[in-house]
Amino acid sequence: MSNDDPYVGLEPSDYAPVPDDPSDVSVAELMQNQLDDLPAVPIRQTGPLNVRKMGNKDWIGGNTTLDATITTNAYRILNSNPNRARAVVWSSAAGANVGRSQAEATLAGAALPLGVPIYMEHVQEVWVRLATGTATISWFEEVWAE
């Protein structure tokens, strides 16, 4: 019987040493560094795994009313934020589109369903556009650091 499991028979000394964690890393460095030079450590989960996530540090919310009879231009509701953990956006009416840029919200944005919260976990800008009618776009943004 052949065992193709790459983890069988490995000892801790078989792994490359893992460099020390940097003691003072900025958010900008975390967002930019790919850390390709770090060795991969093979692992295999064989039982239950508890995962804990610390709560987000703060949040900010807002809303704006868009009226397509006045303008159908896209409106930026959230700036780019490297500290964003999550953003939630919802609309009081159908017909609103959301995108990462003014052009995307105008030309190819995703439709915001009526009253359904859309969760986003990226750090880019968020733009909305209303094609017809009037709608209130509401949002909140949670951040994990200052």
pTM here is: 0.61
Within 13 A of 71's CA, how many CA atoms are on the CB side? 8
What single-letter amino acid sits at 116?
Answer: V
Q: Any idea which architecture 58-143 has in CATH?
A: Sandwich (2.60)
Cα pseudo-dihedral 19, 25, 28, 33, rounded to 10: 0
Quick one: 2 exposed, middle or buried, by C-beta within 10 A (0-12, 13-18, 19+)? exposed
Mean pLDDT of 28-51: 70
pLDDT digits (tens, 9 = 90+) for 100-121: 999 998 888 888 888 889 998 8
Q: Where are the domains of the chain?
A: 58-143
More confident residue, 122 or 5: 122
pLDDT top residue among 115 and 12:
115
